[in-house]
Amino acid sequence: MQQFLDPPESRQIIVAVDEREDRFFDETFRALGALVERRVLSVGDFLCSSRLAVERKSRSDFEQSVIDGRLFSQLPNLVANYERVVVVVEGLSDDERLSRDSLLGAYSSIIADFGASIIFTRDKAGTAELVFHLAKHEQIAKKQPMRIYAKKRTFTPSQTARAIVESLPMVGPKLAKALLAHFGSVEALAQATERDISAVPGVGPKRAKVIRGILSLHYEAEDDQSMY
């Protein structure tokens, strides 16, 4: 079910905020002149229009989400539901766990593999200001409607299989296609050895180890409490 919100005034901006986000954003958006809609969003942290979603991460959370693959599980859902996806990396890391090459590789994957944008802000105030102006541009300049619920796209069976593979850590659309082309099915990939997976062009031993680890991981419900 989709819900569209029509601003009561022609130039009134609406920002949808995920219920789990800091209440600081409500106050800041209102101070900037926007209406705030608090919802449990299925994807993203802020919605600026029917086509644009924002995923906010602190610098430390961004680095951790790259390490554990969570970011690359979230991005397929975001880009499947919204034409424009913006990843905001907020603040500085107190404990940098990734090398410069790893960070640049993650930035490149966000842009090149998923077609999303990545923007850096100094703090919550900077993030709020950016999100407000994105919403203003979408709703006033581009006249995009405001839809709260994500619009699910219809996938072909092969696209669904690719989406499943893309949810694996360090796997984007291009590599997902390569893995499926090599193994022929999600089932065959799930049964492949680490050595078999590493033989696929573009994978390599380190990435194969991570993929194999997730495919063979024993699910722990307690470990799933904080996941989106």
Q: What is the DSSP string of 125-163?
A: HHHHHHHHHHHHIIIIIS---EESS--PPPPPHHHHHHH
- Domain interval for residue 208: 157-224
Instruction: Kindly report the CATH number assigned to the domain that includes residue 218.
Output: 1.10.150.20
Structure tokens at 8: 């009561």
Q: How many domains does the chain have?
A: 2
Averaged over 186-213, what is the pLDDT? 93
- Report pLDDT for 150: 52
> Per-residue pLDDT tens for 65-80?
999 889 998 998 898 8
Pair 140, 161 in one domain: no
Report if residue 152 sits inside a domain. Answer: no
Q: What is the pTM of this model?
A: 0.64
Residue 34 reports pLDDT greater than 90: yes
